[in-house]
Structure 1
Protein backbone atom coordinates (compact mmCIF):
# COMPACT_ATOMS: atom_id res chain seq x y z
CA UNK A 1 0.00 0.00 0.00
CA UNK A 2 1.40 3.41 -0.93
CA UNK A 3 1.66 6.28 1.51
CA UNK A 4 -1.27 8.14 0.03
CA UNK A 5 -3.60 5.27 0.94
CA UNK A 6 -1.98 4.76 4.35
CA UNK A 7 -2.99 8.26 5.49
CA UNK A 8 -6.77 7.64 5.40
CA UNK A 9 -6.65 3.89 6.05
CA UNK A 10 -4.72 3.98 9.34
CA UNK A 11 -7.21 6.30 11.14
CA UNK A 12 -10.16 4.35 9.71
CA UNK A 13 -8.73 1.17 11.22
CA UNK A 14 -8.35 2.96 14.57
CA UNK A 15 -12.03 3.89 14.43
CA UNK A 16 -12.92 0.33 13.41
CA UNK A 17 -11.04 -1.07 16.40
CA UNK A 18 -12.80 1.37 18.71
CA UNK A 19 -16.23 0.39 17.41
CA UNK A 20 -15.50 -3.34 17.58
CA UNK A 21 -14.17 -2.87 21.12
CA UNK A 22 -17.39 -1.14 22.16
CA UNK A 23 -19.46 -3.94 20.65
CA UNK A 24 -17.30 -6.56 22.36
CA UNK A 25 -18.00 -5.00 25.75
CA UNK A 26 -21.79 -4.92 25.46
CA UNK A 27 -22.04 -8.13 27.50
CA UNK A 28 -19.87 -6.68 30.26
CA UNK A 29 -16.70 -8.55 29.24
CA UNK A 30 -14.09 -7.99 26.55
CA UNK A 31 -12.47 -11.08 25.10
CA UNK A 32 -11.72 -13.69 24.23
CA UNK A 33 -13.51 -14.31 20.99
CA UNK A 34 -13.81 -13.18 17.37
CA UNK A 35 -14.54 -9.56 18.27
CA UNK A 36 -11.46 -9.33 20.50
CA UNK A 37 -9.26 -10.81 17.79
CA UNK A 38 -10.75 -8.82 14.90
CA UNK A 39 -10.56 -5.55 16.78
CA UNK A 40 -6.95 -6.02 17.77
CA UNK A 41 -5.98 -7.09 14.26
CA UNK A 42 -7.57 -3.89 12.94
CA UNK A 43 -5.55 -1.88 15.45
CA UNK A 44 -2.40 -3.80 14.52
CA UNK A 45 -3.03 -2.96 10.87
CA UNK A 46 -3.40 0.70 11.81
CA UNK A 47 -0.05 0.72 13.59
CA UNK A 48 1.65 -0.96 10.64
CA UNK A 49 0.27 1.73 8.33
CA UNK A 50 1.37 4.51 10.65
CA UNK A 51 4.96 3.54 9.85
CA UNK A 52 4.85 4.92 6.27
CA UNK A 53 2.73 7.83 7.55
CA UNK A 54 5.47 8.86 10.00
CA UNK A 55 8.15 8.46 7.33
CA UNK A 56 6.23 10.66 4.90
CA UNK A 57 5.66 13.29 7.60
CA UNK A 58 9.42 13.32 8.09
CA UNK A 59 9.97 13.97 4.37
CA UNK A 60 7.29 16.66 4.27
CA UNK A 61 9.09 18.40 7.14
CA UNK A 62 12.34 18.50 5.18
CA UNK A 63 13.99 15.32 6.45
CA UNK A 64 16.44 17.15 8.74
CA UNK A 65 17.75 16.07 12.12
CA UNK A 66 14.72 17.30 14.03
CA UNK A 67 12.28 15.63 11.64
CA UNK A 68 14.30 12.41 11.83
CA UNK A 69 14.35 12.46 15.64
CA UNK A 70 10.60 13.05 15.76
CA UNK A 71 9.97 10.19 13.35
CA UNK A 72 12.22 7.90 15.40
CA UNK A 73 10.18 8.62 18.54
CA UNK A 74 6.91 7.92 16.74
CA UNK A 75 8.24 4.74 15.13
CA UNK A 76 9.50 3.46 18.48
CA UNK A 77 6.05 4.03 19.95
CA UNK A 78 4.38 2.32 17.00
CA UNK A 79 6.67 -0.68 17.37
CA UNK A 80 5.95 -1.00 21.09
CA UNK A 81 2.23 -0.66 20.38
CA UNK A 82 2.50 -3.52 17.89
CA UNK A 83 4.15 -5.62 20.60
CA UNK A 84 1.30 -4.85 23.00
CA UNK A 85 -1.36 -5.69 20.43
CA UNK A 86 0.39 -8.94 19.51
CA UNK A 87 0.43 -10.00 23.17
CA UNK A 88 -3.27 -9.19 23.46
CA UNK A 89 -4.09 -11.25 20.37
CA UNK A 90 -2.07 -14.25 21.57
CA UNK A 91 -3.67 -14.14 25.02
CA UNK A 92 -7.11 -13.91 23.44
CA UNK A 93 -6.44 -16.91 21.23
CA UNK A 94 -5.04 -19.05 24.04
CA UNK A 95 -7.51 -18.19 26.80
CA UNK A 96 -10.51 -20.47 27.21
CA UNK A 97 -12.63 -17.69 28.70
CA UNK A 98 -12.40 -14.14 30.04
CA UNK A 99 -11.37 -15.28 33.51
CA UNK A 100 -8.34 -17.10 32.08
CA UNK A 101 -7.03 -13.96 30.41
CA UNK A 102 -6.15 -12.20 33.68
CA UNK A 103 -3.53 -14.70 34.88
CA UNK A 104 -1.98 -14.79 31.40
CA UNK A 105 -1.56 -11.02 31.37
CA UNK A 106 -0.15 -11.21 34.90
CA UNK A 107 2.54 -13.63 33.74
CA UNK A 108 3.44 -11.30 30.88
CA UNK A 109 3.68 -8.40 33.32
CA UNK A 110 6.09 -10.34 35.51
CA UNK A 111 8.75 -10.10 32.80
CA UNK A 112 11.01 -7.19 33.84
CA UNK A 113 10.40 -4.03 31.85
CA UNK A 114 7.50 -5.35 29.79
CA UNK A 115 4.75 -3.47 31.63
CA UNK A 116 6.61 -0.15 31.42
CA UNK A 117 7.83 -0.51 27.84
CA UNK A 118 4.89 -2.27 26.22
CA UNK A 119 1.86 -1.17 28.22
CA UNK A 120 2.65 2.11 29.98
CA UNK A 121 5.22 4.54 28.61
CA UNK A 122 6.15 2.89 25.32
CA UNK A 123 2.98 3.30 23.26
CA UNK A 124 2.70 6.91 24.43
CA UNK A 125 5.78 7.63 22.32
CA UNK A 126 3.66 7.05 19.23
CA UNK A 127 1.28 9.87 20.11
CA UNK A 128 4.17 12.12 21.18
CA UNK A 129 5.91 11.54 17.86
CA UNK A 130 2.75 12.03 15.81
CA UNK A 131 1.88 15.26 17.63
CA UNK A 132 5.44 16.58 17.36
CA UNK A 133 5.45 15.83 13.63
CA UNK A 134 2.19 17.75 13.18
CA UNK A 135 3.53 20.73 15.16
CA UNK A 136 6.74 20.68 13.11
CA UNK A 137 4.81 20.68 9.84
CA UNK A 138 2.57 23.53 10.99
CA UNK A 139 5.62 25.54 12.10
CA UNK A 140 7.11 25.08 8.62
CA UNK A 141 3.76 26.03 7.06
CA UNK A 142 3.60 22.62 5.45
CA UNK A 143 0.28 21.90 7.20
CA UNK A 144 -2.66 24.03 8.41
CA UNK A 145 -2.30 25.35 11.95
CA UNK A 146 -5.33 23.37 13.12
CA UNK A 147 -3.78 20.00 12.27
CA UNK A 148 -1.71 19.75 15.50
CA UNK A 149 -4.81 20.58 17.55
CA UNK A 150 -6.75 17.76 15.89
CA UNK A 151 -3.90 15.34 16.64
CA UNK A 152 -3.74 16.63 20.22
CA UNK A 153 -7.45 16.02 20.72
CA UNK A 154 -7.10 12.53 19.25
CA UNK A 155 -4.22 11.75 21.61
CA UNK A 156 -6.09 13.06 24.64
CA UNK A 157 -9.20 11.10 23.71
CA UNK A 158 -7.17 7.89 23.52
CA UNK A 159 -5.49 8.61 26.85
CA UNK A 160 -8.65 9.58 28.74
CA UNK A 161 -10.81 6.61 27.75
CA UNK A 162 -10.37 3.88 25.16
CA UNK A 163 -14.11 4.12 24.52
CA UNK A 164 -13.26 7.37 22.72
CA UNK A 165 -11.06 5.60 20.15
CA UNK A 166 -13.68 5.93 17.38
CA UNK A 167 -13.61 9.70 17.83
CA UNK A 168 -9.81 9.66 18.01
CA UNK A 169 -9.63 7.89 14.67
CA UNK A 170 -11.96 10.39 13.04
CA UNK A 171 -9.91 13.29 14.42
CA UNK A 172 -6.75 11.75 12.94
CA UNK A 173 -8.54 11.29 9.62
CA UNK A 174 -9.49 14.97 9.55
CA UNK A 175 -5.93 15.97 10.45
CA UNK A 176 -4.47 13.84 7.67
CA UNK A 177 -6.91 15.06 5.01
CA UNK A 178 -4.85 18.12 3.94
CA UNK A 179 -1.68 16.00 3.94
CA UNK A 180 -2.88 13.27 1.58
CA UNK A 181 -2.09 15.22 -1.59
CA UNK A 182 1.39 16.33 -0.39
CA UNK A 183 2.06 12.72 0.66
CA UNK A 184 1.72 11.55 -2.92
CA UNK A 185 4.37 14.06 -3.95
CA UNK A 186 6.70 13.55 -0.98
CA UNK A 187 9.32 12.01 -3.27
CA UNK A 188 9.54 14.23 -6.35
CA UNK A 189 10.24 12.62 -9.67
CA UNK A 190 13.01 13.86 -11.89
CA UNK A 191 11.77 16.23 -14.55
CA UNK A 192 12.75 15.59 -18.12
CA UNK A 193 14.79 18.13 -20.04
CA UNK A 194 12.90 21.18 -21.12
CA UNK A 195 13.62 23.09 -24.29
CA UNK A 196 13.85 26.81 -23.60
CA UNK A 197 11.96 29.31 -25.56
CA UNK A 198 14.30 31.53 -27.52
CA UNK A 199 14.00 34.36 -29.92
CA UNK A 200 13.47 33.59 -33.58
CA UNK A 201 16.75 33.16 -35.37
CA UNK A 202 18.76 32.64 -32.16
CA UNK A 203 20.09 29.36 -30.83
CA UNK A 204 20.38 28.47 -27.13
CA UNK A 205 23.87 28.55 -25.71
CA UNK A 206 25.56 25.19 -26.02
CA UNK A 207 26.55 23.34 -22.85
CA UNK A 208 23.89 25.01 -20.66
CA UNK A 209 21.19 22.70 -19.32
CA UNK A 210 17.80 24.30 -19.04
CA UNK A 211 16.25 21.36 -17.14
CA UNK A 212 14.93 22.20 -13.69
CA UNK A 213 14.05 19.96 -10.82
CA UNK A 214 10.71 20.40 -9.09
CA UNK A 215 11.02 21.79 -5.55
CA UNK A 216 11.06 19.19 -2.80
CA UNK A 217 7.90 18.72 -0.74
CA UNK A 218 9.67 19.96 2.38
CA UNK A 219 10.54 23.30 0.76
Structure 2
Protein backbone atom coordinates (compact mmCIF):
# COMPACT_ATOMS: atom_id res chain seq x y z
CA UNK A 1 0.00 0.00 0.00
CA UNK A 2 1.18 3.51 -0.78
CA UNK A 3 2.00 5.16 2.56
CA UNK A 4 1.44 8.68 1.24
CA UNK A 5 -2.08 7.66 0.18
CA UNK A 6 -2.87 6.16 3.60
CA UNK A 7 -1.65 9.22 5.54
CA UNK A 8 -3.80 11.54 3.41
CA UNK A 9 -6.86 9.35 2.78
CA UNK A 10 -7.45 8.35 6.42
CA UNK A 11 -8.06 11.92 7.69
CA UNK A 12 -10.10 12.73 4.57
CA UNK A 13 -12.33 9.71 5.22
CA UNK A 14 -12.72 10.73 8.88
CA UNK A 15 -13.66 14.23 7.66
CA UNK A 16 -16.26 12.64 5.38
CA UNK A 17 -17.65 10.64 8.29
CA UNK A 18 -17.89 13.76 10.44
CA UNK A 19 -19.69 15.78 7.78
CA UNK A 20 -22.11 12.94 6.95
CA UNK A 21 -22.76 12.50 10.68
CA UNK A 22 -23.69 16.18 11.02
CA UNK A 23 -25.95 16.01 7.97
CA UNK A 24 -27.60 12.85 9.28
CA UNK A 25 -28.48 14.65 12.52
CA UNK A 26 -30.13 17.66 10.89
CA UNK A 27 -33.57 16.07 11.33
CA UNK A 28 -32.97 15.65 15.08
CA UNK A 29 -31.84 12.00 15.10
CA UNK A 30 -29.11 9.93 13.55
CA UNK A 31 -29.82 6.73 11.65
CA UNK A 32 -30.97 4.45 10.32
CA UNK A 33 -30.56 5.07 6.62
CA UNK A 34 -28.12 5.85 3.85
CA UNK A 35 -26.29 8.64 5.69
CA UNK A 36 -25.82 6.46 8.78
CA UNK A 37 -24.44 3.57 6.75
CA UNK A 38 -22.25 5.58 4.36
CA UNK A 39 -20.74 7.62 7.18
CA UNK A 40 -19.88 4.50 9.15
CA UNK A 41 -18.38 2.83 6.07
CA UNK A 42 -16.19 5.90 5.48
CA UNK A 43 -14.87 5.70 9.04
CA UNK A 44 -14.29 1.96 8.74
CA UNK A 45 -12.25 2.53 5.57
CA UNK A 46 -10.18 5.10 7.49
CA UNK A 47 -9.61 2.57 10.28
CA UNK A 48 -8.24 0.01 7.82
CA UNK A 49 -5.80 2.67 6.58
CA UNK A 50 -4.80 3.49 10.17
CA UNK A 51 -3.46 -0.05 10.60
CA UNK A 52 -1.00 0.63 7.77
CA UNK A 53 -0.24 4.08 9.22
CA UNK A 54 0.54 2.69 12.67
CA UNK A 55 2.96 0.11 11.31
CA UNK A 56 4.53 2.68 9.00
CA UNK A 57 5.07 5.03 11.96
CA UNK A 58 6.56 2.11 13.89
CA UNK A 59 9.03 1.60 11.04
CA UNK A 60 9.80 5.33 10.97
CA UNK A 61 10.54 5.15 14.71
CA UNK A 62 13.06 2.36 14.15
CA UNK A 63 10.84 -0.55 15.15
CA UNK A 64 11.87 -0.38 18.81
CA UNK A 65 9.88 -1.91 21.67
CA UNK A 66 7.89 1.26 22.44
CA UNK A 67 6.85 1.79 18.84
CA UNK A 68 5.94 -1.89 18.50
CA UNK A 69 3.77 -1.85 21.63
CA UNK A 70 2.15 1.38 20.43
CA UNK A 71 1.43 -0.08 16.98
CA UNK A 72 -0.02 -3.24 18.54
CA UNK A 73 -2.19 -1.16 20.89
CA UNK A 74 -3.36 1.06 18.03
CA UNK A 75 -4.19 -1.98 15.91
CA UNK A 76 -6.13 -3.58 18.77
CA UNK A 77 -8.05 -0.32 19.06
CA UNK A 78 -8.81 -0.45 15.34
CA UNK A 79 -10.25 -3.95 15.78
CA UNK A 80 -12.47 -2.72 18.63
CA UNK A 81 -13.65 0.28 16.60
CA UNK A 82 -14.32 -1.89 13.55
CA UNK A 83 -16.49 -4.10 15.76
CA UNK A 84 -18.28 -1.04 17.15
CA UNK A 85 -18.96 0.45 13.72
CA UNK A 86 -19.93 -2.97 12.33
CA UNK A 87 -22.49 -3.28 15.12
CA UNK A 88 -23.72 0.25 14.34
CA UNK A 89 -24.24 -0.66 10.68
CA UNK A 90 -25.99 -3.94 11.54
CA UNK A 91 -28.28 -2.15 14.00
CA UNK A 92 -29.03 0.45 11.33
CA UNK A 93 -30.08 -2.27 8.91
CA UNK A 94 -32.17 -4.16 11.47
CA UNK A 95 -34.04 -1.21 12.98
CA UNK A 96 -36.97 0.56 11.37
CA UNK A 97 -36.28 3.86 13.13
CA UNK A 98 -34.06 5.59 15.69
CA UNK A 99 -36.11 4.27 18.62
CA UNK A 100 -35.68 0.73 17.32
CA UNK A 101 -31.94 1.31 17.10
CA UNK A 102 -31.85 2.28 20.77
CA UNK A 103 -33.51 -0.99 21.76
CA UNK A 104 -31.04 -3.03 19.70
CA UNK A 105 -28.06 -1.10 21.09
CA UNK A 106 -29.24 -1.87 24.64
CA UNK A 107 -29.41 -5.57 23.76
CA UNK A 108 -25.86 -5.50 22.34
CA UNK A 109 -24.49 -3.60 25.32
CA UNK A 110 -26.09 -6.09 27.73
CA UNK A 111 -23.72 -8.81 26.47
CA UNK A 112 -20.98 -9.25 29.09
CA UNK A 113 -17.66 -7.74 28.04
CA UNK A 114 -19.02 -5.87 25.02
CA UNK A 115 -19.36 -2.46 26.72
CA UNK A 116 -15.70 -2.46 27.75
CA UNK A 117 -14.14 -4.24 24.76
CA UNK A 118 -16.14 -2.54 22.00
CA UNK A 119 -17.30 0.77 23.50
CA UNK A 120 -14.81 1.55 26.28
CA UNK A 121 -11.27 0.33 26.80
CA UNK A 122 -10.81 -1.28 23.40
CA UNK A 123 -11.32 1.88 21.33
CA UNK A 124 -9.15 3.92 23.71
CA UNK A 125 -6.19 1.82 22.55
CA UNK A 126 -6.59 3.30 19.06
CA UNK A 127 -6.14 6.82 20.39
CA UNK A 128 -3.35 5.97 22.83
CA UNK A 129 -1.40 4.02 20.23
CA UNK A 130 -1.68 6.80 17.69
CA UNK A 131 -0.61 9.50 20.13
CA UNK A 132 2.27 7.38 21.47
CA UNK A 133 3.63 6.75 17.97
CA UNK A 134 3.46 10.40 16.94
CA UNK A 135 4.89 11.47 20.29
CA UNK A 136 7.81 9.09 19.87
CA UNK A 137 8.50 10.40 16.36
CA UNK A 138 8.48 13.95 17.72
CA UNK A 139 10.83 12.99 20.56
CA UNK A 140 13.17 11.46 17.97
CA UNK A 141 12.87 14.68 15.92
CA UNK A 142 11.49 12.76 12.96
CA UNK A 143 8.47 15.10 12.93
CA UNK A 144 7.98 18.66 14.14
CA UNK A 145 7.05 19.25 17.79
CA UNK A 146 3.64 20.60 16.77
CA UNK A 147 2.64 17.31 15.10
CA UNK A 148 1.59 15.54 18.33
CA UNK A 149 -0.30 18.69 19.38
CA UNK A 150 -2.44 18.53 16.23
CA UNK A 151 -2.95 14.77 16.63
CA UNK A 152 -4.00 15.35 20.24
CA UNK A 153 -6.45 18.05 19.06
CA UNK A 154 -7.94 15.53 16.63
CA UNK A 155 -8.32 13.00 19.43
CA UNK A 156 -9.77 15.42 22.00
CA UNK A 157 -12.19 17.48 19.88
CA UNK A 158 -14.76 14.66 19.37
CA UNK A 159 -14.83 14.08 23.15
CA UNK A 160 -15.82 17.73 23.57
CA UNK A 161 -18.51 17.52 20.87
CA UNK A 162 -18.81 14.92 18.14
CA UNK A 163 -19.81 17.66 15.70
CA UNK A 164 -16.14 18.76 15.94
CA UNK A 165 -14.99 15.58 14.16
CA UNK A 166 -14.48 17.42 10.83
CA UNK A 167 -12.33 20.07 12.52
CA UNK A 168 -10.31 17.39 14.30
CA UNK A 169 -9.78 15.50 11.06
CA UNK A 170 -8.42 18.67 9.45
CA UNK A 171 -5.91 18.93 12.32
CA UNK A 172 -4.99 15.31 11.67
CA UNK A 173 -4.60 15.93 7.95
CA UNK A 174 -2.24 18.86 8.59
CA UNK A 175 -0.22 16.73 11.01
CA UNK A 176 -0.12 13.75 8.64
CA UNK A 177 1.07 15.64 5.53
CA UNK A 178 4.69 15.81 6.79
CA UNK A 179 4.43 12.17 7.87
CA UNK A 180 3.24 11.26 4.37
CA UNK A 181 6.28 13.00 2.88
CA UNK A 182 8.64 11.32 5.35
CA UNK A 183 7.09 7.90 4.78
CA UNK A 184 7.28 8.28 1.01
CA UNK A 185 10.96 9.31 1.19
CA UNK A 186 11.97 6.57 3.66
CA UNK A 187 13.75 3.56 2.18
CA UNK A 188 11.68 0.40 2.11
CA UNK A 189 12.83 -2.73 3.92
CA UNK A 190 14.65 -5.27 1.75
CA UNK A 191 11.72 -7.75 2.05
CA UNK A 192 9.36 -5.17 0.54
CA UNK A 193 11.67 -4.66 -2.43
CA UNK A 194 11.87 -8.35 -3.32
User: What is the TM-score normalised by the length of structure 2?
Assistant: 0.94
Hey, which of these two has a bigger chunk of helix by percent? Answer: 2
Q: Which residue of 2 aligns with 1:91?
A: 91
Q: Which residue of 1 aligns with 2:153?
A: 153
Q: What is the rounded CA distance, in whole Å, between the counterparts of 2:168 and 2:122 in structure 1?
A: 19
CA RMSD in angstroms, aligned pairs only: 1.2
Q: What is the rounded CA distance, in whole Å, between the counterparts of 1:158 and 1:142 in structure 2?
A: 27
Q: What is the rounded CA distance, in whole Å, between the counterparts of 1:186 and 1:63 in structure 2?
A: 14
Are 2:186 and 1:163 aligned? Answer: no
Query: Equivalent residues in 2 for 1:11-26 (5 A)?
Result: 11-26=11-26
Q: Which residue of 2 aligns with 1:196?
A: none
Q: What is the rounded CA distance, in whole Å, between the counterparts of 1:189 and 1:38 in structure 2?
A: 36
Q: Which residue of 1 aligns with 2:69?
A: 69
Q: What is the rounded CA distance, in whole Å, between the counterparts of 1:179 and 1:7 in structure 2?
A: 7
Deviations 1:143-167 (A, max 9, x none): 1110000011111102222111101
Q: What is the rounded CA distance, in whole Å, between the counterparts of 1:13 and 1:34 in structure 2?
A: 16
Q: What is the rounded CA distance, in whole Å, between the counterparts of 2:152 and 2:116 in structure 1?
A: 23
After TM superposition, give the deviation of residue 189 of structure 1 in Å: 6.4
Q: Which residue of 1 aligns with 2:101?
A: 101
Q: Which residue of 1 aligns with 2:44?
A: 44
Higher relative contact order (CA 8 A, sep 6+): 2
Q: What is the rounded CA distance, in whole Å, between the counterparts of 1:52 and 1:33 in structure 2?
A: 30
Q: What is the rounded CA distance, in whole Å, between the counterparts of 1:38 and 1:67 in structure 2?
A: 33
Structure 1's unaligned 5+ residue stretches are 191-219
Whether contact under 8 Å (1:56, 1:186) holds in the other structure is: no
